[in-house]
């Protein structure tokens, strides 16, 4: 599903869902306060599951999406339709490097435990490749590198690692709110790591007090 085809979530709906979740899980408030002291934000995977369920619509959207914490990685399972074949895809993602700048958001991830199961379309070329064992699933980066239509955000793919630049996505790059967050926020705080723990996606921040002046100047522009 292209970014322009994605349904938009209404802020009121998100606020209502978040309020209901916190009422049912008051311990999240304590966790958030503790995390703030250590410059860490923990996002419940239930929140990601909710967003995926709300956004994944349309004939080409993934279905039966499953997200699980496998510290420090995130295991995902989803069913997709590709080239006349329905596949069940399972993989574990480990975010290994982050490089956020004013004009780039580069993320390097290691992909492990990739598994492709053919659900239908056994006579398709894709199904034949998977069932023959010709695809080296231990090196998914090499498979991505030889895709006929590489995503614009893909920078590099080799062996079990994939590097993308999120700011190459027009919806992010051309969004003035995103640009302002980067211009004002990055001088004073950056993301040091993204891991999982206790069914949460933990984002560890790194403070840069020396950049306060730059952040104030950016906010005033």
Q: Domain containing 81: what range?
A: 3-220
Return d(Cα 48, Cα 194) in angstroms, integer. Answer: 14
pLDDT of 7 over the 60 cut: no
pLDDT of 9 over the 80 cut: no
Q: How many domains does the chain have?
A: 1
Structure confidence at residue 200 as a pLDDT band (50, 70, 90) = very high
Structure confidence at residue 4 as a pLDDT band (50, 70, 90) = very low
The residue among 10 and 130 whose pLDDT is bigger is: 130
Structure confidence at residue 1 as a pLDDT band (50, 70, 90) = very low
Location of structure tokens 């590198």: 145
Residue 124: phi and psi, rounded to 5, are: -80, 155
Say what the pLDDT of residue 65 is. 94
The residue among 194 and 219 whose pLDDT is bigger is: 194
Structure confidence at residue 8 as a pLDDT band (50, 70, 90) = low
In sequence order, the β-bridge partners of residue 120 are 86
**Is 67 within 8 Å of 76 (Cβ atoms)?**
yes
Integer Rg of the chain from CA: 20
From the CB of residue 163, how many other CB atoms can be counted at a distance below 10 Å?
18
Please tell me the number of Cα atoms within 13 Å of 5 on its side-chain side: 8
pLDDT of 116 over the 70 cut: yes
Say what the pLDDT of residue 167 is. 93
CA distances in angstroms from 157 to 54, 60, 94, 140, 208, listed in the order given: 30, 24, 14, 8, 31
pLDDT of 2 over the 60 cut: no
Say what the pLDDT of residue 113 is. 96
Mean pLDDT (the chain) is: 88
pLDDT of 188 over the 70 cut: yes
Structure confidence at residue 170 as a pLDDT band (50, 70, 90) = confident
User: Looking at residues 185-201, what average pLDDT do you find?
Assistant: 94
CA-nearest of 168, 146, 166, 165 to 155 is: 165
């Amino acid at each position: 599903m292209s970014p322009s085809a994605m349904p938009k979530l209404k802020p009121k709906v998100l606020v209502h869902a978040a309020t209901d979740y916190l009422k049912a899980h008051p311990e999240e408030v304590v966790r958030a306060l503790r995390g703030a002291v250590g410059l860490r934000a923990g996002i419940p995977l239930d929140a990601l599951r909710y967003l995926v369920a709300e956004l994944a619509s349309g004939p080409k959207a993934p279905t039966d999406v499953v997200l699980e914490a496998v510290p420090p990685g995130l295991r995902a399972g989803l069913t997709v339709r590709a080239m006349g074949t329905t596949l069940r895809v399972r993989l574990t993602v480990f975010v290994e490097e982050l490089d956020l700048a004013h004009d780039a958001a580069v993320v390097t991830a290691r992909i492990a435990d990739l598994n492709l199961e053919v659900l239908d379309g056994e006579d398709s070329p894709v199904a034949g490749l998977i069932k023959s064992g010709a695809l080296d699933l231990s090196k998914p980066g090499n498979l991505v590198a030889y895709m006929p239509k590489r995503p614009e955000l893909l920078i590099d793919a080799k062996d079990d690692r994939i590097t993308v630049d999120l700011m190459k996505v027009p919806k992010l790059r051309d969004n003035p709110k995103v640009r302002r967050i980067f211009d004002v926020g990055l001088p004073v705080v950056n993301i040091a790591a993204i891991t999982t723990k206790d069914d949460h996606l933990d984002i560890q921040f790194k403070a840069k007090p020396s950049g306060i002046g730059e952040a104030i100047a950016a906010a005033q522009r």
